[in-house]
């Protein structure tokens, strides 16, 4: 198989300009077969980084594309063309007819494995806040933290190692949510208004609402953004004893979903409070007392941790969203905070912590190198 590869570097979709990179021993030969510079200087004689304007055609020539070609390095050439999908597809097709293999953009922009992972995560960032934290990593926050750690390992200084490892361990939970949204589950008895609440929380009618208990059967998810972070809400079947097999399967899924989430909203019906005492809360739980519009506020004395809401008139929804944000992400981070964010980083981090605990500093150093370079 040829070791010459090509990839579209720009994101899919229409834009002003698209860039196709071709890299490997056949790069020059493949590009020259299709590119005709408009000036006298040929691509073969152009200095690296010199920009040449000209026309691109397939063989036999049919449509001519106006392109700008730059030989970035001896065997790495960038072809800039019109930003619509057709031009870059045509260029990739011509290259492939010369045994050039199409690949992922990240393969051709790689510096080291960590940088590749940062680029990949950045290209998939769901919000500006997430992108800003990943840009900090791209500017070197994580690389710097790892090189400081490596130096501490070199001189076998356990205190300094712990000091440097602590922030990485502290931010791993947040880091995981740079690529996967936070998971928040709404659980509670049937008919308390869980589906109505999820619709309010995300701002559109995602889940079916009905005045009969047992409406939601499967887990229904909807994504939104809170304090700049992607958050996925999961509406679940109302939990109750039932002989009905489909509802029972839904209840089972609801219980599973509630186990694996970051935060659980336990929803109760303010009208039926006499039937059930308020539960004691565990960590990562918020008690929501819905249908508050149906009761007289004078007759209710609620403990401060209970969130009264009405999914019908919107009472308490902003406060609930603020609580969720505070519980999940807390305050904004200082710029330049190093953050592990990939499952590979978490695995290696565990290995480093173990090696430092065993005072095996050279093993820990190898793991830092693996984190950086793969
Ligand atoms: N007055 C009032 N009615 C509400 C409120 N929230 C939901 N309801 C009504 O309560 C009924 C049940 O609402 P759902 O959102 O379907 O309840 P659910 O908890 O998802 O029910 P299941 O899916 O069966 O578990 C519907 O008639 C809603 O309109 C609220 O805050 N106030
Ligand atoms: Mg429901």
Render pLDDT for 108-130 as a digit per residue (tens, 0 to 9): 887 788 998 999 999 899 999 99
Please work out whether the CB of residue 270 comes within 6 Å of at least one atom of ligand 1: no
Q: Is the separation of the CB atoms in 4 and 25 below 8 Å?
A: yes
pLDDT in tens, 197-240: 999 999 989 888 888 888 888 889 999 999 999 999 999 988 88
Burial of 38 (0-12, 13-18, 19+ CB in 10 A): exposed
Confidence of residue 2 (pLDDT cuts 50, 70, 90): low
Of 191, 222, 235, 265, best ligand 1 pocket probe by most atoms within 8 Å of the beta carbon: 191
Supply the mean pLDDT for the chain. 92
Confidence of residue 87 (pLDDT cuts 50, 70, 90): very high
Spatial separation of the C-alpha atoms in residues 364 and 349, rounded to whole Å: 9
Top-confidence residue, 171 or 373? 171
Domains assigned to the chain: 5-108 (3.30.1360.120), 113-176+334-373 (no CATH), 184-323 (3.40.50.300)
* Nearest CA owner, ligand 1 atom 8: 193
pLDDT of residue 282: 87
* Nearest CA owner, ligand 1 atom 27: 211
How remote is the CA of residue 88 from the centroid of ligand 2, in Å? Answer: 47
Whether residue 190 has pLDDT greater than 90? yes
How remote is the CA of residue 212 from the centroid of ligand 1, in Å? Answer: 8
pLDDT of residue 348: 98
- Give phi and psi for 214, each to the nearest 5: 90, 25
How remote is the CA of residue 192 from the centroid of ligand 1, in Å? Answer: 5
Please work out whether the CB of residue 236 comes within 6 Å of at least one atom of ligand 1: no
pLDDT of residue 248: 86
Whether residue 12 has pLDDT greater than 80? no
Spatial separation of the C-alpha atoms in residues 185 and 233, rounded to whole Å: 6
Confidence of residue 269 (pLDDT cuts 50, 70, 90): very high
- Which of 20-29, 36-45, 68-77, 240-249 is predicted with the least confidence, judged by mean pLDDT? 240-249
Whether residue 63 has pLDDT greater than 90? no
How remote is the CA of residue 193 from the centroid of ligand 1, in Å? Answer: 3
Please work out whether the CB of residue 193 comes within 6 Å of at least one atom of ligand 1: yes
């Amino acid at each position: 198989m040829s070791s010459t590869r090509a990839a579209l570097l720009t994101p899919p979709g229409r834009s002003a300009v698209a860039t196709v990179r071709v890299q490997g021993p056949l790069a020059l030969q493949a590009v020259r077969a299709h590119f005709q510079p408009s000036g006298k200087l040929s691509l073969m004689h152009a200095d690296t980084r010199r920009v040449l304007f000209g026309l691109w055609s397939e063989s036999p020539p049919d449509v001519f594309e106006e392109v700008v070609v730059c030989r970035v390095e001896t065997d790495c050439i960038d072809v800039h063309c019109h930003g619509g999908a057709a031009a870059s597809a045509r260029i990739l097709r011509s290259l492939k007819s010369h045994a050039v293999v199409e690949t992922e953009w990240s393969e051709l922009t790689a510096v080291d494995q960590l940088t590749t992972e940062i680029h990949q995560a950045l290209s998939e960032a769901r919000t500006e806040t997430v992108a800003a934290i990943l840009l900090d990593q791209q500017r070197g926050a994580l690389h710097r933290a790892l090189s400081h750690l490596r130096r501490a390992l070199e001189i076998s200084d356990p205190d300094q190692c712990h000091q440097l490892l602590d922030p990485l361990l502290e931010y791993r939970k947040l880091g995981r949510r740079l690529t996967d949204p936070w998971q928040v589950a709404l659980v509670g008895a049937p008919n308390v208004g869980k589906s109505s609440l999820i619709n309010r929380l995300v701002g559109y009618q995602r889940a079916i609402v009905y005045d009969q208990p047992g409406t939601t059967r499967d887990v229904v998810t909807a994504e939104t953004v809170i304090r700049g972070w992607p958050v996925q809400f999961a509406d679940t079947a109302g939990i109750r004893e039932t002989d009905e097999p489909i509802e029972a399967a839904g209840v089972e899924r609801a219980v599973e979903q509630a186990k694996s989430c970051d935060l659980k909203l336990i929803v109760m019906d303010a009208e039926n409070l006499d039937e059930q005492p308020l539960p004691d809360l565990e960590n990562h739980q918020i008690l929501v007392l819905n249908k508050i519009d149906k009761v007289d506020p004078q007759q209710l004395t609620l403990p401060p941790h209970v969130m009264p809401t009405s999914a019908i008139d919107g009472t308490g929804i902003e406060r609930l969203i603020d609580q969720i944000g505070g519980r999940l992400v807390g305050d904004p981070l200082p710029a330049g905070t190093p953050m592990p964010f990939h499952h590979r980083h978490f695995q290696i981090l565990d290995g480093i912590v173990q090696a430092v605990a065993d005072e095996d500093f050279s093993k820990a150093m190898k793991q830092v190198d693996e984190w950086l370079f793969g």
